[in-house]
Structure 1
């Protein structure tokens, strides 16, 4: 049984036990949460403790990878420009689309209140800071205080500034520091892997509390979440066809036929890396010579995940909607910036690991509590399919777009 399946089984089991216990004896069911809630919280804290060093490590290694790619030549530079433009565009799209989807199809009030109570009790939510307050706090006065206070947007600003400084060091110093932060990132990911081995315990403990307090409402809320977040991935996927048609100068039908085998591999493996051979074949069928695709696609697999910032932001916005955290312009700006910037430092990992590593910084930058992520990680398998298929589709689209602008590389 895969890790994702074990976590999903733990989620369903915890919810069902909590629901059944509440039907038998509501008082005893709630009393039991005095035991299960600390267990679930301890597991969540294990995930949270690595986020600060992880985000700095990802930023440094991501910027280094992007800088090295840009130094590789004109094709790599065009690719990086296209990647960055697409990442910021889809992130802004998500910021506009998700609130509209939630307005058109909000989570039923009874379900939202039940889940809110199950996750956070009746704790009050914070106020929406003004734009002036947002810009006043974006540059950290004290990086240690920002890290200890979970102020992730100023921490990201510092991390990005530091990463660009490292990228401008002499080659030997740059390589040593990049290797150090790569090792730091790898160590944090190992810790996340260890914590996730305990996920069935932590998730079932959290799910029990939600089930005991909410009943069957939890299942409806999870289905609603899957549909909303997956919808964002579908929009990015469809945008890939448009990019391929416009930038690659091919018909949508021809692009769809060429990309279909790579998409099938993406669905079955949920891995862009495993889809690389099929993406190379699709790009060749659409007119890109191997010399071009052999540069663009490996860079894309390493640093470009078109769906990630949009879907990471969508998760954070959904959690805010779920737990009734007010979101104003400052939070939207924080979420867009953090999602778009940290995506360049993300890496290809199993969905359960990358979910926490990529979504938590965005949520924390927006002032959104991340307790709900402990439950949502259990159903990430379905949105992760749309993440991977969208990434693969956009990778192919950018590749043929760059190829069309590199005439000597086109047959």
Structure 2
């Protein structure tokens, strides 16, 4: 209940109020005062900017222990490797299918509406120079190609602590997956006590994140003020067509594909589903982070959707990094938009390559704000589009990041709903769990 109300007002309404106040104040400053005014520069650099970043850092500080403990506990609660394998295969297949549909929708929308056509070449070069500085760090750090063998090799951490220190989420999750499997295989009083410790870590981490999320309304107001005050409407208007196509494609996937998957695959009323996931959607929109939204998603899955806890924990923790439908869609739309912007026609073969890399990139993208930008830069290099062009979308990326994160988080909950449907033995563990606990307590 900590994340639902604050001072008697539901938290998602406070977040919306913070969003509106920050956006309105920022646009007023941009239009009538000027972003270069000394006190505005001081405010965005020393107050609103750091306030928003502190909120995000508090969340990211807790992401690694949350992901590790939630995934280990989710796997261990499966009880046997057969149910774990069944849930894992369903999750993987559904991720590939739904992500493919998302990318196809995005590419079809860009090819039909062609938002990047008709740009004055001189303006294109001017904007490219304008965005080059902001994009330089992303381009320099982006890989120049993608190798399937290296991708799978990088999934296995040679040192899990180094991977955690470098914020390499996927290798840490692979270690947590193996650790959870080990707990299932090596069942003993000692491993039971270890599992209890990890469950305690999960509870503490979720409690801390719930406390941090109470700061969200203030942080959202600060983040939106900075965005609106510094960029105003100029860059947003230039990229209005791009934003419209991207949001339109996401809306189709959200309100057409997801309801069909929930209805057909999960046998749940889509209206009931969306009513149950309102809070994770708002948190995802405000934080632009799948990982930061994970505790709220876990709570909604268990309390609102009434999904089995062990399936919800497994699918949602894996999905926070591996099921990025919105990210895959956004990457495809951005690459094709920039190709059109610089008058570079991509063949059907090149677009198929873009689609495949976007699906793979959606699986490997970190669930943090702007985590997809290095992947986009890599794809641009592969298809011969100036990678510095990514700087053009940086001004509106925050808003689109918020939108695609909503799609990612909702997709994780869709996935959990469908995977849960086939698990007929879900109600059994809660009924039998009170019996072993006294035995463990007496041994201790």
CA RMSD of aligned residues (A): 4.8
Aligned with residue 336 of structure 1, among 360, 363, 373: 363
**Matched residues in 2 for 1:152 and 1:392: separation?**
20
**Matched residues in 1 for 2:173 and 2:29: separation?**
44
Q: Which residue of 1 aligns with 2:418?
A: 394
**Matched residues in 1 for 2:333 and 2:421: separation?**
35
- Report the Cα offset of residue 397 of structure 1: 5.1
Unaligned runs of 5+ in 2: 1-8, 120-125, 278-299, 339-353, 378-394, 427-444
Distance 1:64 1:397, change over 3 A: closer
**Match status 1:48 vs 2:48:** no
Distance 1:323 1:265, change over 3 A: closer
- Report the Cα offset of residue 211 of structure 1: 0.9
How many residues are aligned here?
Answer: 337
- TM-score, normalised to structure 2, is 0.59
Contact 1:87 1:306 in 2 (8 A): no
Q: Which residue of 1 aligns with 2:325?
A: 314
- Report the Cα offset of residue 91 of structure 1: 1.0
**Match status 1:183 vs 2:200:** yes
Matches within 5 A, 1:245-264: 259-260=268-269, 263-264=270-271
The Cα offsets for residues 196-215 of structure 1, whole Å up to 9 and x where unpaired, read as 11112221111111112333
Matched residue SS, 1:50? helix
- Report the Cα offset of residue 380 of structure 1: 9.1
Deviates most, 199-208 or 98-107: 98-107
Aligned with residue 199 of structure 1, among 216, 238, 258: 216
Q: Which residue of 2 aligns with 1:405?
A: none
The Cα offsets for residues 45-87 of structure 1, whole Å up to 9 and x where unpaired, read as 1111111111111121011112x1x48xxxxx5x655533331
Matched residue SS, 1:150? coil
The Cα offsets for residues 98-147 of structure 1, whole Å up to 9 and x where unpaired, read as 3333333359669xx99xx99x9444323234314434433222222111
Q: Which residue of 2 aligns with 1:235?
A: 257
Deviates most, 215-224 or 165-174: 215-224
- TM-score, normalised to structure 1, is 0.63
Unaligned runs of 5+ in 1: 72-76, 245-254, 280-296, 340-358, 403-411
- Report the Cα offset of residue 377 of structure 1: 9.0
Distance 1:123 1:162, change over 3 A: same
Distance 1:171 1:222, change over 3 A: farther
- Report the Cα offset of residue 162 of structure 1: 1.9
Q: Which residue of 2 aligns with 1:85?
A: 89
Q: Which residue of 2 aligns with 1:124?
A: 137
Contact 2:73 2:195 in 1 (8 A): yes
The Cα offsets for residues 1-41 of structure 1, whole Å up to 9 and x where unpaired, read as 21122112212221221111110132124553212222211
Aligned with residue 20 of structure 1, among 19, 22, 28: 28
**Match status 1:143 vs 2:150:** no
Matches within 5 A, 1:28-47: 28=37, 29-35=40-46, 36-47=48-59
The Cα offsets for residues 249-281 of structure 1, whole Å up to 9 and x where unpaired, read as xxxxxx6xxx44xx544443434445568x9xx
Distance 1:319 1:11, change over 3 A: farther
**Matched residues in 1 for 2:174 and 2:408: separation?**
28
Matched residue SS, 2:137? coil
**Matched residues in 1 for 2:373 and 2:403: separation?**
23
Q: Which residue of 1 aligns with 2:390?
A: none
The Cα offsets for residues 204-227 of structure 1, whole Å up to 9 and x where unpaired, read as 111111112333439978876665
Contact 2:99 2:359 in 1 (8 A): yes
Deviates most, 266-275 or 198-207: 266-275
Matched residue SS, 1:51? helix
- Report the Cα offset of residue 396 of structure 1: 7.8
Q: Which residue of 2 aligns with 1:158?
A: 175
**Match status 1:268 vs 2:275:** yes
